[in-house]
């Protein structure tokens, strides 16, 4: 079984930040889109699921980071491959500076702490 959450401990201020990982109860891409995805992305993904042949779908909470503020975020991500050549993979934006988030790499402690900024 894969990990469903991750706690990152800041060695400067000793705060602990809690992140979720994985599908969080969703067993199909339909459930993921219904429960965890909102707004335009939900409408788009549900329409793809209804009208197209899904080849592969990945979904779940993941750790992303903003290349500009170096902060970790925890979006619920989805990726749908369909009709043999098509790919639906929405971008996630930093709520602070609107930069497109990228997948975070370990060690996760190298990212800025939301409490003390270090």
Give the whole-angstrom CA distance, residue 43 versus residue 41: 6
Q: Does 66 bind Zn ion (CB under 5 A)?
A: yes
Smallest gap, in angstroms, from Cβ of residue 60 to Zn ion?
A: 22
Q: 65: buried, middle or exposed (CB in 10 Å: 19+, 13-18, 0-12)? A: buried
Interface with Zn ion by CB under 5 A: which range of 8-16, 24-32, 42-50, 72-80?
8-16
Question: Cβ contacts of residue 70 below 8 Å, gap of 6+?
Answer: 111, 112
Please give the size of the binding site for Zn ion, defined by CB under 5 A: 13
Considering only 5, 9, 12, 38, the residue that binds Zn ion (CB under 5 A) is 12
Site string for Zn ion, 75-104 (x = CB under 5 A): -------------------x-xx-x-----
Give the whole-angstrom CA distance, residue 92 versus residue 83: 24
Q: Are residues 80 and 113 in contact, defined by beta-carbon separation less than 8 angstroms?
A: no
Binding site for Zn ion (CB under 5 A): 10, 12-13, 66, 68-69, 94, 96-97, 99, 113, 115-116
């Amino acid at each position: 079984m894969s990990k469903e959450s991750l706690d990152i401990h800041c060695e400067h201020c000793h705060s602990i930040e809690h992140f979720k990982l994985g599908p969080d109860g969703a067993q199909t891409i339909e459930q993921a889109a219904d429960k965890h995805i909102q707004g335009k992305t939900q409408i788009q993904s549900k329409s793809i699921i209804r009208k197209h042949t899904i080849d592969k779908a990945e979904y779940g909470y993941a750790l992303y980071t903003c290349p500009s503020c170096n902060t970790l975020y925890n979006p619920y991500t989805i990726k749908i491959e369909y009709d043999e050549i098509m790919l639906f993979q929405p971008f996630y934006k930093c709520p602070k500076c609107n930069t497109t988030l990228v997948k975070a790499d370990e060690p996760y402690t190298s990212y800025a702490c939301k409490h003390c900024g270090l």
